[in-house]
Structure 1
Amino acid sequence: MELNLTQALYDLAMSTGFVTITWQQIVMLFISFTLLYLAIVKGFEPLLLLPIAFGMLLANLPDTGIMAPQGTAIDPITGKEKIVPGGLLWYLYQGVKMGIYPPLIFLGIGAMTDFGPLIANPKTLLLGAAAQLGIFTTFIGALFLGFNPQEAASIGIIGGADGPTAIFLTSKLAPHLLGAIAVAAYSYMALVPIIQPPIMRALTTKKARMTVMEQLRPVSQTEKIIFPIVVTVIVTLLLPDAAPLIGMLMLGNLFRESGVVGRLNDTAQNALINIVTIFLGTTVGATASAENFLNFQTISIILLGLAAFAMGTAGGVLLGNLMYVLSGGKVNPLIGSAGVSAVPMAARVSQVVGQKDNPRNFLLMHAMGPNVAGVIGSAVAAGVLLSLFGTH
């Protein structure tokens, strides 16, 4: 009896995760702890960084099977094949794999977004387009480093600073890179206040940064209602592959601006986007298992993502400089940095950097134009890359 008890205790001890955990999984746990620290203590993009970090933690605890796919096995009693259920997060992950969650996130973003500043100053659409420079330059750089076109496109989209778009495109083109790309995209979005200001100051003069822009004209409700309809029609006719993202973004915005579906608008920008964010963040984080994440390829993606983000910021600022010159000094080039679609953080950074040189400068609403244009621009860029390199 004593021998059996000892054996049972030994078997129990050997079945615990403490015995089977690998050093790679331990490293990944510490990475997840770091991301949790940044989300909770530093407040960096917590709504998505926190579930991503916790999903990463769950996926790297051994023997949980929480991301195990559904499979089949032979029943030892009947000898017949039976279905073995998958893990909880594997089932929730199907919403990412099938491209469902990112468009639903865009629905909520559309319901929260005021396109008024962009409608009032349509020229800022060009700044949003210029900030997509990082996507395409990094795409070329990734090709030179040996990534295939699908992988390079997924890495390049990090430069759009739009997490849902990056996840949507990567799930279609290179799902094996999803964990690394999602972590890079959301980490750099969270670090906007640190990464962007040095680039903005290096590419502008103090005189240009001090520029005070004229107040934006009022935008009518009619204009705000027509805008999402027109954008949907034009962009979808040009790029059918962009329809899921652009369509949901503009539907959410139409909920907001129409004034007749208050309940739908409230659900889209609160309950729905919050639920989908939990599912999206946790399952994307769970794809960052040790075997998928700890390799040279991931390091390359992190570095290329930083380059993409920096180039996107630079592209917007450089076009801002050109507009400053062509307008006779009426456009502050700092608003170009907001062309990356980290809404509204990038617009706030434009405001903060501008006020350091001129405390009377209020650039926030002007920067919101290129900022929301960047959301459209990144979705359009994703549509271009998907039409070029996706399977049809």
Structure 2
Amino acid sequence: MFDGLIEAVQNLINTSGFGLEYWQNYLMIAVSCVLLYLAIVKKYEPLLLLPIAFGMLLANLPLAGLMSTPVMELKPVVEGVVENYPIITQNGQQFYEVTSQTGGLLYYLYQGVKMGIYPPLIFLGIGAMTDFGPLIANPKSFLLGAAAQLGIFTTFIGARLLDAYVPGISFDNNAAASIGIIGGADGPTAIYVTSKLKPELLGPIAVAAYSYMALVPIIQPPIMKLLTTKKERMVVMEQLRPVSKTEKIIFPILVTIVVSLILPSAAPLVGMLMLGNLMRESGVVDRIFKTAQNELINIVTIFLGVTVGATANGQTFLTPQTIGIVVLGLLAFMMGTAGGVLFGKLMYVFTKGKVNPLIGSAGVSAVPMAARVSQKVGQKENPSNFLLMHAMGPNVAGVIGSAVAAGVFIALFG
């Protein structure tokens, strides 16, 4: 009697959500709850972190099947019967490939990540929200944006060294390039490069890139303070010159032409970024400009965040290779921040104290998070200091810089 009851209870547990077989799933559920706490309570970039964390939670709950792939079966071709399915030939016989079981909701939404559709759409929205005026007013900001890409290329080298000297870790050129791009602190760019060069690493690279973007306010300040003196952090910069409407209209057109001619592989990202900005500055397409900077980017961010988080299934995510990617991604981001700050210190010396090195940290392309961090750290030392607009120059230069670096990697290894 009791044997039957015990067996019934065991069956109930096994068919319920409490039947988790792998400890990795429990760990990832705990991680997702921590990220939700940071997003909701600490307000660390909740627009990114909340959907990513919840997607991670959904992916590790058993039996939900939200990321399940479709189940296909072969059906023999019957003469005279025409069906609109792909035909496969095996051993001289023809079969229709039909879907016997559809995939999960997030599986289909994830195709926009996998096929590289979402990143250019995100760039369109970013362009529509971004004012390139500070960059145009101070073209030297391009140098700070370029210096902050240091993390991308040093991490590429680091990944290749791990491949050569650490057993069990295999990072070829394509994998190393995909990991290195995390250093640009630009999630859409990291996804775009990985989808082109190393699709099998898309999950861990996307999670790492977006997580570090969301954690900019935690990661950057200690590096900025370590590499600068109090005197440097207190520097008050001169007000930027006004930028004319004509300059703002010409800029996106000119950048698109120059970058696309030099590096065609960067055109999808840079082109969409500049199209969004041209919509903003032209003043003649208010309806689609407002859609790009609001509804479109919000919808794509939801789809992107949830599906990126859903790739972090504990059974496939917690591997030595994935942990290596997460660690290298953090180092890439730290090196990018350090590169920008150190070049800012160099400009501080050459301009005889007119440039605050803190704005160099904004050269990573987390817009406008990194610029706000520069402002916050600067104001702690000097409450009358306003670095936000000065930091926006390197910040938007970093967006262009990371897209260009992505184009270089795709051109070399794609």
TM-score scaled by length of structure 1 = 0.93
Residues 116-131 of structure 1: matches in 2 within 5 Å?
116-131=133-148
- Count, aligned residues: 386
- Aligned partners of 2:22 and 2:315 also within 8 Å: no
Q: Which residue of 1 aligns with 2:31?
A: 31
Change (3 A) 1:86 1:351: same
Is it true that 1:56 corresponds to 2:56 in the alignment? yes
Give the Cα separation in 2 of the matches to 1:14 and 1:306: 38
How many Å apart are 1:10 and its aligned residue?
Answer: 6.9
Pick the aligned partner of 1:114 from 131, 136, 145.
Answer: 131
Q: Which residue of 2 aligns with 1:209?
A: 233
- Aligned partners of 2:126 and 2:276 also within 8 Å: yes
Give the Cα separation in 2 of the matches to 1:82 and 1:187: 38
- Aligned partners of 2:19 and 2:62 also within 8 Å: no
Give the Cα separation in 2 of the matches to 1:137 and 1:181: 17
How many Å apart are 1:336 and its aligned residue?
Answer: 0.8
Is it true that 1:167 corresponds to 2:191 in the alignment? yes
Give the Cα separation in 2 of the matches to 1:81 and 1:223: 55
Give the Cα separation in 2 of the matches to 1:36 and 1:128: 31
How many Å apart are 1:74 and its aligned residue?
Answer: 5.9
RMSD: 2.2
Is it true that 1:91 corresponds to 2:108 in the alignment? yes
Q: Which residue of 2 aligns with 1:286?
A: 310
Q: Which residue of 1 aligns with 2:162?
A: 145
- Aligned partners of 1:242 and 1:383 also within 8 Å: yes
Letter in 2 for 1:38: L
Identity of aligned residues (%): 74
Q: Which residue of 2 aligns with 1:304?
A: 328
Q: Which residue of 1 aligns with 2:256?
A: 232
Residues 353-364 of structure 1: matches in 2 within 5 Å?
353-364=377-388
SS in 1 for 2:19: helix
How many Å apart are 1:353 and its aligned residue?
Answer: 1.9
Residues 195-206 of structure 1: matches in 2 within 5 Å?
195-206=219-230
Residues 61-76 of structure 1: matches in 2 within 5 Å?
61-73=61-73
Deviates more, 1:282-291 or 1:219-228: 282-291
Deviates more, 1:85-94 or 1:191-200: 191-200
Deviates more, 1:65-74 or 1:369-378: 65-74
How many Å apart are 1:14 and its aligned residue?
Answer: 3.7
How many Å apart are 1:17 and its aligned residue?
Answer: 3.2
Is it true that 1:264 corresponds to 2:280 in the alignment? no
- Aligned partners of 1:165 and 1:379 also within 8 Å: yes
Is it true that 1:247 corresponds to 2:247 in the alignment? no
Give the Cα separation in 1 of the matches to 2:185 and 2:26: 29
How many Å apart are 1:312 and its aligned residue?
Answer: 0.6
- Aligned partners of 1:176 and 1:292 also within 8 Å: no
Deviates more, 1:375-384 or 1:289-298: 289-298
Superimposed CA distance per residue, residues 320-364 of structure 1 (whole angstroms, 9 cap, x where no aligned partner): 111111112211111111101111121122122222332222111
Letter in 2 for 1:177: L
Superimposed CA distance per residue, residues 248-274 of structure 1 (whole angstroms, 9 cap, x where no aligned partner): 111100110000000001100111111
- Aligned partners of 2:363 and 2:394 also within 8 Å: yes
How many Å apart are 1:193 and its aligned residue?
Answer: 2.1
How many Å apart are 1:6 and its aligned residue?
Answer: 10
Letter in 1 for 2:212: Y
Change (3 A) 1:63 1:351: same
Pick the aligned partner of 1:222 from 235, 246, 259.
Answer: 246
Give the Cα separation in 2 of the matches to 1:14 and 1:321: 60
- Aligned partners of 2:48 and 2:214 also within 8 Å: no
Letter in 2 for 1:50: L
Superimposed CA distance per residue, residues 115-134 of structure 1 (whole angstroms, 9 cap, x where no aligned partner): 00000000111100000000
Q: Which residue of 2 aligns with 1:135?
A: 152
Give the Cα separation in 2 of the matches to 1:255 and 1:139: 35
How many Å apart are 1:205 and its aligned residue?
Answer: 2.5
Change (3 A) 1:19 1:211: closer
Q: Which residue of 2 aligns with 1:19?
A: 19
Q: Which residue of 2 aligns with 1:388?
A: 412
Give the Cα separation in 1 of the matches to 2:14 and 2:141: 62
Pick the aligned partner of 1:317 from 321, 341, 361.
Answer: 341
Letter in 2 for 1:255: M
Give the Cα separation in 2 of the matches to 1:358 and 1:164: 34
- Aligned partners of 2:208 and 2:329 also within 8 Å: yes
Give the Cα separation in 1 of the matches to 2:62 and 2:406: 35
- Aligned partners of 1:51 and 1:285 also within 8 Å: yes
Give the Cα separation in 1 of the matches to 2:134 and 2:338: 22
In structure 1, stretches of 5+ residues that fail to align are none
Is it true that 1:155 corresponds to 2:179 in the alignment? yes
Give the Cα separation in 2 of the matches to 1:48 and 1:195: 16
SS in 2 for 1:72: strand
How many Å apart are 1:11 and its aligned residue?
Answer: 5.2
In structure 2, stretches of 5+ residues that fail to align are 79-94, 164-170
- Aligned partners of 1:45 and 1:186 also within 8 Å: no
Letter in 2 for 1:106: F
Give the Cα separation in 1 of the matches to 2:97 and 2:386: 68
How many Å apart are 1:385 and its aligned residue?
Answer: 0.9
Q: Which residue of 1 aligns with 2:86?
A: none
